[in-house]
A and B are shown apart, each in its own frame.
Chain A
Amino acid sequence: MSSIASAPRPGVQDAPLSLSAGPQLRRRQIRAEIAKLIFLAATASAGIVLLILLARVVSQGWGALDLSLLRENISQTESRIADGRAGYYNGIVSTLWLVAISAGFAIPVGLGAAVYLEEYAPDNWFTRIVQLNIANLAGVPSVVYGLLGLGLLVEFFGRDFLGRSILAGGLTLGLLVLPIIIISAQEAIRAVPLSLRQAGFALGATPWQVAWHHVLPAAAPGILTGTILAVARAIGETAPVLVAGAALYITYVPNAPGDGYSPLPVQVFNLLGNAQEDIRQFAAAGIIVMMVLLLALNSVAIYLRERATRRVRW
């Protein structure tokens, strides 16, 4: 009979059993606690930085916060700003146009590419090169996309056609976020279990039917999260839109794809370096408006995500 059974077993002896942590275990527990505190500190520092940023901005812009920010167009004259007759209306409208155009382009194209790469593409060298390219494009500095937009959309297609229009700017941003959308959608699609696809195929469904009815709904939360993050990034991009033709200052409100535009981050950027106190305060208020806009757009996106995922009944 093996000696394992007859070896002395801890706790099973004359003294009563004590299950409180022994010295070795206590050391491991301490190390576990330290790790947890380090992670907590990392999270907290991210949160604290954000809070400090918010606090600074709010305190700087507080004086200029009122509803005229949402109603009035931008101005560069100090008197108008001081009087409260200046706002960010045309900046907000420009930004919303940019979001609509870039998302309207990048989301269908990005989703389509992700579905193709995950569900249809054969595993050959060509597919692998395409994947590599997409991954590379995701890391290209955003200014370069601005140059692409300028060279391709603004100049090449003719100054009379797109020119420095909001359509060109929107498409530039769309190209910027396209690789990110493709990659995050691919990840979400890849996470859908194979068993779900097999069930669909076994019932005589085509790859498209399986993708549309089962894979995409199941991947929807991940896809939407990735899309939200990508579009949120697009909103804040200043450099590429400047290069691609955003105006620093406009007096009108864009209302057609061919119009010029001045998105909110650009307007704020334009005012930031100004020496006058009033104008700097106005710029800080602009940052608050930007954040509120971002929050509003995110909320809409999250609501859409909830609606879309309700079809899937895990």
Chain B
Amino acid sequence: MATATDEIHAPVTTPSDRAEPGSLGETIIDLKEVNVHYGSFHAVSGVNFKVPKNRITALIGPSGCGKSTVLRSINRMNDLVPGARVTGEINYHGVDLNSAKVDAVEVRRRIGMVFQKPNPFPKSIYENIAWGARINGIKGNMDERVERCLRGAALWDEVHDKLKESGLALSGGQQQRLCIARTLAINPDVILMDEPCSALDPISTLKIEDLMRELVRQYTIVIVTHNMQQAARVSDQTVFFSLNDKRQGVLVEAGPTREIFTKPRDQRTEDYITGRFG
């Protein structure tokens, strides 16, 4: 597992590993019976699925069925929501992330997150990336690290001559890539993305999808998306959520993307994918 002082590199998965249709490989996060309550409201019920390493897992489903809630539980961001309670086990390398003994800050150093609306810090581009590395005690040549992260996020060419400018002066697509670069700076294991392209134009969206395919060679990615075509284009595993009759979010079906989109096992999945609802 990558430590804070590692260089940004990881064993690159062999091409045959990824190309194998339906093969999802080793599991890195295992969600077991995850339930989320907001106060007395039971929002998400009984979620079970595995996140495979070095793959892109897409969480899809209609609005309000708990996809983002489940995503946020993985890196303990729900701790910040007053009244939110997550039960169940989120197993990561043998440790239950959801346990009270696990420090949420430690979790977030290894599992990063990119949000729906790009939220760069109101600081320079350089500072946006350097800050995360610095507070996590990552030493070493910061200039080099900033360049590596910007290259890793396919942003270096566009901003290398204006690193001192405010991160907020960039376009939406660039800001989102800056947020991705910022996440790379802390050298995480897993990157969670909560509808990262929904606030962006189609061209920026495609750029970020290309970026995801590059990044997944070194990182594991879990993405929540409203855009079914995006899930079909980009992900290796798709997890479909829906609402049950008690208006709770439930996991309907999970599986390799090709299977979900060509021969879904559940009728609800088929209805959603073919656009009959949602």
Task: List A residues at the B interface (Cβ < 8 Å).
Answer: 122-123, 195-206, 209, 213-214, 218, 311-314
Contact = CB atoms under 8 A, between A and B. Distances in A.
Contacts of B136: 203-204
Interface of B: 75, 77, 80, 82, 105-106, 108-110, 112-115, 117, 119-124, 131-132, 135-136, 166-168, 179, 182-183, 185-186
A314 B122 contact: yes
25 contacts: A195-B119, A196-B119, A196-B121, A198-B80, A198-B113, A198-B115, A201-B80, A202-B75, A202-B114, A203-B108, A203-B135, A203-B182, A203-B183, A203-B186, A204-B106, A204-B108, A204-B109, A204-B186, A205-B108, A311-B123, A313-B122, A313-B166, A313-B167, A314-B166, A314-B168
A311 B131 CA distance: 14
A65 to B, nearest CB: 46
A211 B167 CA distance: 19
A218 B123 CA distance: 10
Contact of A202 (B115, B120, B167, B168): B115
B131 A202 contact: no
A222 B13 CA distance: 51
B51 to A, nearest CB: 18
B18 to A, nearest CB: 27
Given A195-B117, A199-B115, A203-B186, A313 B131 contact: no
A201 B72 CA distance: 12
B77 A205 contact: no
Contacts of B183: 202-203
A312 B122 contact: yes
Which of B120, B121, B185 has the most CB atoms of chain A within a 10 A radius of its CB? B121
A198 B185 CA distance: 17
A202 B121 contact: no
Contact of B108 (A123, A201, A218): A201
B77 A214 contact: no
B193 to A, nearest CB: 11
B115 A213 contact: no
A202 B112 contact: yes
6 closest pairs, A vs B, by CB? Answer: A204-B109, A313-B166, A203-B132, A202-B113, A195-B119, A204-B108
Contacts of B113: 198, 202
A204 B112 CA distance: 8
Nearest to A217: B122
Contacts of B179: 199
Given A196-B121, A205-B132, 9 more contacts: A195-B115, A198-B119, A199-B119, A203-B185, A204-B110, A205-B135, A218-B122, A313-B166, A314-B166
